[in-house]
Structure 1
């Protein structure tokens, strides 16, 4: 059930349900070695293990090194619900491309911009409303971001209904925002902010029509990204369980790291083959000139 980009992969508890990194790379079309290759990566749950406190999350030095090496062969863009500032803290000192706040803000080639319009006054009113009404829900962890507010209940899963009710009450008061459910979190963001639209804008504005995009993500908020990638005839990869629009599936962060390692090795081998072919062709031209 992995051949067609428009097909949804059904959830399953079977071990065979996940694909190996090698299988995915061997199954992907030859465009995966395109000269204009664009790799979009979610952070939490994809290249960073989940932590109940987002401020304590890390990206392993091994994955950071892989991403650094991969940029020799492709364009890397981190696509995350974190703000650009939060994401930057995880990759310091590197200044990589980041689409932050669920695609609302973008740092691309050191240029900063917002991808949708928002009302700062209404955003502050939303933040104040949540802070006031969450006081009686002490077990909820409220994360106030630059452009959104997240209601976390990972430490207390029994608070899901209370968090959902608070989020819906917020929407009734602030209809210009929308609810993004995730893993043990409900987040309120300005309408129109999603990873799919961010990916589409980045591909349209900064890359040629022949560019080949890949997106790896793990959460419900990544589904819009998978759909955008599928529409662009790229490669979409879901991490973990759950019904998804992604074409392929990896089991966990460790398997994402393995995929990146194998992908890097494949890109290096591809470059070596092209170099050898170019050398042989040049040698033949020189020999031909000498014989004349």
Structure 2
């Protein structure tokens, strides 16, 4: 199947899928598998969607992973009882198909003064939220949009003070994370190992944090799918989260039918 299309052609719906052994699926969570909420703790993945993810993982030999800015502990809670390979905190945490977890840690002489500085400054901006992830920090301002500029300036100041850090803007959030950590690198790492290796990667995401994931997938002629509005590097488009649910169910049905057809020809 050819996937060569014009860059930024995000008006195209994702293609049909056949031959489940050919694909590896990667999903962002917030804004992709779950509706974005004012409070990140209120986010949920519907039970039917979790069941479809479990079925997709089974039919694809385990080549399904979550790739998110959330820590793995939160992803496990959202996906329960399903246990998947995961890249948390944009890849600073990575759990492979064998259940082994690899983490990038910030040095104590960076993490402690950075957290103290962020807590002091964010406390002066009512409605903002500081989320400490251990190896990264998320500065949320969804419920205090009037402080967007101050939050961005605070994050820029932090990165200027600690050059081993990098900024990652998102929807009503800016994250501070270690240099060299992003979703594209996480997907590339997964693709080097079973059961993902040798397959065509499919990545579905919605945010600026997913753009490097789209680029990584495009570089190997994979299938990149943007959810929601806005231009970017994804080659295909779904309008909203509920469309992701419909597409996932349709994809699962296609792959099941293809497998059943092959079985009848054996």
TM-score under structure 2 length normalisation: 0.92
What is aligned with 1:204? 192
Aligned twin of 2:45: 59
Q: Distance in 2 between matches of 1:134 and 1:185?
A: 13
**Alpha-carbon distance in structure 2 between the residues aligned to 1:118 and 1:170:** 14
Shift of 1:119: 2.2
Task: Choose from 244, 247, 250 the match for 2:238.
Answer: 250
The answer for the alignment partner of 1:166 in structure 2 is 154
User: 1:40 is matched with which residue?
Assistant: 26
CA pair 84-5 structure 1, distance change in 2 beyond 3 A: farther
**Secondary structure class of the residue paired with 2:127:** coil
Q: Distance in 2 between matches of 1:138 and 1:77?
A: 36
**1:215 equivalent in structure 2:** 203
Aligned residue number for residue 129 of structure 2 = 141
Aligned to 1:4: 4
Cα pair distance change 1:208/1:76, threshold 3 Å? closer
Aligned-partner Cα distance in 2 for 1:200–1:267 = 24
* Alignment partner of 1:194 out of 148, 166, 182: 182
* CA offsets 1:109-128 (integer angstroms, 9 cap, x no match): 311112x5642431222111
Q: Secondary structure at the match of 1:48?
A: coil
Task: Decide which of 227, 230, 235 is 2:218's aligned counterpart.
Answer: 230
Cα 1:219–1:147 change in 2 (3 A) is same
Q: Which of the numbers 129, 138, 142 marks the counterpart of 2:117? A: 129
Q: State whether structure 2 residue 260 is matched by structure 1 residue 272.
A: yes
Task: Return structure 1 stretches of 4+ with deviation > 6 angstroms.
Answer: none
- Which has the larger share of helix? 1
Deviates more, 1:91-100 or 1:246-255: 91-100
Partner of 1:86: 74
Secondary structure of the structure 1 residue equivalent to 2:258: helix
2:203 aligned counterpart, secondary structure: strand
- Report the structure number with the largest CA radius of gyration: 1
Normalization by structure 1: what TM-score? Answer: 0.84
CA distance in 2, matches of 1:163, 1:266: 45
Q: Quick check: 1:112 aligned with 2:101? A: yes
Label 1:97 to 1:184 Cα distance change in 2 as closer, same or farther (>3 A).
same
Give 1:5 deviation, angstroms.
Answer: 5.2
Q: Note the C-alpha offset of 1:208.
A: 6.6
CA distance in 1, matches of 2:102, 2:49: 27
Q: State yes or no: 1:25 paired with 2:25.
A: no
SS of the residue aligned with 1:213? strand
Write the distance in 1 (CA, Å) between the matches of 2:6 and 2:186: 20
Query: How far, CA to CA, are the matches of 2:113 and 2:26 in structure 1?
Result: 33
1:18, distance to aligned residue in structure 2 (A): 6.2
| SS across alignment from 2:113 | helix
Unaligned runs of 5+ in 1: 11-16, 279-292
Structure 2 CA distance for aligned equivalents of residues 6 and 221 of structure 1: 22
